[in-house]
A and B are shown apart, each in its own frame.
Chain A
Amino acid sequence: MREPPVGQVPTADPGFDVPADVYADHVVLRPPNRLKARAVRHVDPKDSSEVDPVRRAEHALDLLSHEFDLWMNAEIDALEAARLATAKRRDAGSLADLYRAAHDLRGQAATFGFPLAGEIADGLCDLMDALGDRPPPQPLVDHHVEAIRAIVREGARDRDHPLGAALAAGLAEMRDAIAPRIDGQ
């Protein structure tokens, strides 16, 4: 397999040559580790000029974090738009959009500094997963979206923020309350 230098546009090459151990019902292939050969370098642990790459990346993320409030609001706006769409027509497309918006928030809210908002979005996704093709009760969807917006509006960044924690716990109770109905179909 040809591997062009980083920075050049490569071309595909069908010439694979991979050692294989062939067994009765499976083959074990051992592709050569070219990444290791190319990218590993030895450094002197005493070299003070070597900066920990993880710390460098965390610093880079810190520099980016001034954008996060804006991004968080944009994600909530997307969730709000999806919520309004499901209120008008509860079809598969609008439910998929609602799920995707909630799913984005559950993955990103903690990075943006709002872990409780992420937990609430996570709860909404879990509820929709449990319901399958059936739409979730619209009032419960509304409560989740409003709670996420309230958490951001109030600046509830800590997991133990009184308002945020109360909202998250209350919504978890609401979801638990309809769980038997989901299980019983």
Chain B
Amino acid sequence: MIRVDFSKLRILIVDDNAHMRRIVRTLLHGFGAREVHEAEDGASGLEVFTSHLPDILIVDWAMPIFDGIELVSMIRRPDSVVNPYVPIIMLTGHSEKSRVMRARDAGVTEFLCKPISAKALHQRVLNCVLNPRPFVKTKDYFGPDRRRSQSASYTGPERRTNDDAIVVDPSAERLRESVRY
């Protein structure tokens, strides 16, 4: 049996509500986490993110200055010198499908609706650690693969016009050639 050792994880909570930060911190400490940082809005969240390089972010949606979606967009920049692949869990009272889709399209890794439960939060963190999805970069998206599984019966919007392994990057092409000969 495997367990995730939370004492090895550095976690950042970004939420403008002090009560919610305290609840999430309590749950994380209960899981065994020791290093938990907090920020009360998107701007200070970005500052703590760049200064402390957390392994996982837990972010509220509705916050002053800039909100959770804007924070995610700022982190998910493929050319960022700070880890743009960091797992981000969106913890929010918004549960409408349109909101979930918007969070997903901003590059959120996991979505968790309030009211929070220990089991649900634990499961989301485990997903981030044990089952991370590859990242996809297109002209208008950078984030975790929005298709959680490879299904032949995929019925969602077809954003990838070409899924064949046509390598257009010259360096990758050279790599293929070198393997061939």
A interface residues (Cβ-Cβ under 8 A, vs B):
1, 3-4, 6-7, 9-14, 18, 20-31, 33, 35-36, 38-45, 50, 53-54, 56-61, 64, 71, 74-75, 100, 103-104, 106-111, 115, 118, 122, 125, 129
Give CA–CA (A4, B83) in the complex, Å.
Answer: 13
A29 to B145, CA, bound (A): 9
How many residues does chain B have at the interface if contact means C-beta atoms less than 8 Å apart? 68
Cα separation A60 to B168 with both chains bound (whole Å):
53
A35 close to B128 (CB less than 8 A): yes
Beyond A58-B30, A107-B92, whether A22 also contacts B118 by CB under 8 A is no
CB-based contact A20/B172 at 8 Å: yes
Q: Choose from B17, B122, B145, B164 the contact partner of A57 (Cβ within 8 Å).
A: B122
User: How many angstroms between the C-alpha atoms of A127 and B119 in the bound complex?
Assistant: 30
Q: Which of B1, B129, B135 interacts with A29 by CB under 8 Å?
A: B135
Q: Which residues of A contact B8 (CB under 8 A)?
A: 6, 38-39
Q: Which of B17, B139, B168 contacts A22 (CB 8 A)?
A: B168
A-B contact count (CB 8 A): 183
Shortest C-beta distance, B132 to chain A (Å), equals 6
Chain B residue nearest in CB terms to A105: B93
List residues 26-63 of chain B with CB under 8 A from any CB of chain A: 26-32, 34-35, 50-53, 55-56, 62
15 contacts between A and B (CB under 8 A): A11-B53, A24-B166, A25-B161, A27-B137, A27-B138, A31-B134, A35-B129, A40-B2, A54-B118, A57-B26, A57-B27, A60-B29, A64-B23, A103-B62, A104-B20
Q: Which residues of chain A have C-beta atoms less than 8 A from B56's C-beta?
A: 35
